Amino acid sequence: MFNGQEILPAVNSMKDFESVMKKEENYFVVLDVHLSMLATMKEFSLKANKKMLLHADLVQGLKTDRYAAEYICQVVRPAGVISTRANMLKTAKKNGC
């Protein structure tokens, strides 16, 4: 699923994000991030040829409802969504995340 990558680096801050961009792993998980930083993180991860997995429950400034899932999938477009909320996961799957 992750092209043989056994460890998924976690990003809790911009310092972590900068560190992950320099590592060889292609996939990483964004855990604690403010909504305003998602677009920038996505842009830099694309340039570095990295794939972002987003823990939707931990995005500050975003509710965990259907509209949030649609926003994440249509605007941020991560490689995958992680959540403890069934409605978030159903909507993400429906929107191709």
pLDDT along the chain (97 residues), means of 10: 87 94 94 91 94 94 88 92 92 89
Quote the pLDDT of residue 2.
Answer: 85
What's the pLDDT at 63?
86
| Helix, strand, or coil (residue 20) | helix
- The pLDDT score that the predictor gives to residue 29 is 96
pTM of this structure: 0.88
Position 66 scores a pLDDT of 86
Domains recognised in the chain with CATH numbers: 10-94 (3.20.20.70)
Q: Tell me the helices (H) and strands (E) count for the chain, helix number first.
A: 4, 6
| Distance, CA of 75 to CA of 81 (rounded, Å) | 13
pLDDT given for residue 97 in this prediction:
85
